[in-house]
């Protein structure tokens, strides 16, 4: 019985680790695609709208 609990915990940890890795990989991939677009367009940065003032500013990473 203890072995079953141990393997269940290892399985849960593996699933959690896989999901975390997948989420981080998607975030990094999205950032790389955005950087490639900026290089192609010869842009100096990406503008984002400030929700409070409505002004556009350069995105701060």
**For residue 19, what pLDDT is reported?**
98
DSSP letter string, 12-60: HHHHHHHHHHHHHHHHHHHHHHHHHHHHHTT-S--EEE-TTT--EEEPP
Residue extents of the structural domains in the chain: 8-41
Give the distance between the most distant pair of CA atoms in the chain: 62
Q: Which residues pair with 57 in a beta bridge?
A: 48
Q: What is the pLDDT of residues 23-41, one digit of tens each?
A: 999 999 999 998 898 888 8
Rounded to two decimals, the pTM is 0.63
**For residue 61, what pLDDT is reported?**
67
Phi-psi region of 49 (alpha: psi -120 to 50; beta: other; left: phi over 0): beta
Query: Six-digit token pair at 45?
Result: 């940065």
């Amino acid at each position: 019985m203890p072995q079953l609990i141990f393997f269940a915990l290892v399985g849960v940890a593996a699933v959690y680790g896989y999901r975390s890795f997948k989420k981080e990989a998607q975030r990094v991939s999205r950032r790389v695609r955005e950087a490639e677009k900026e290089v192609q367009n010869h842009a100096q940065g990406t503008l984002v709208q400030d929700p409070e003032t409505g002004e556009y500013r350069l995105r701060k990473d």
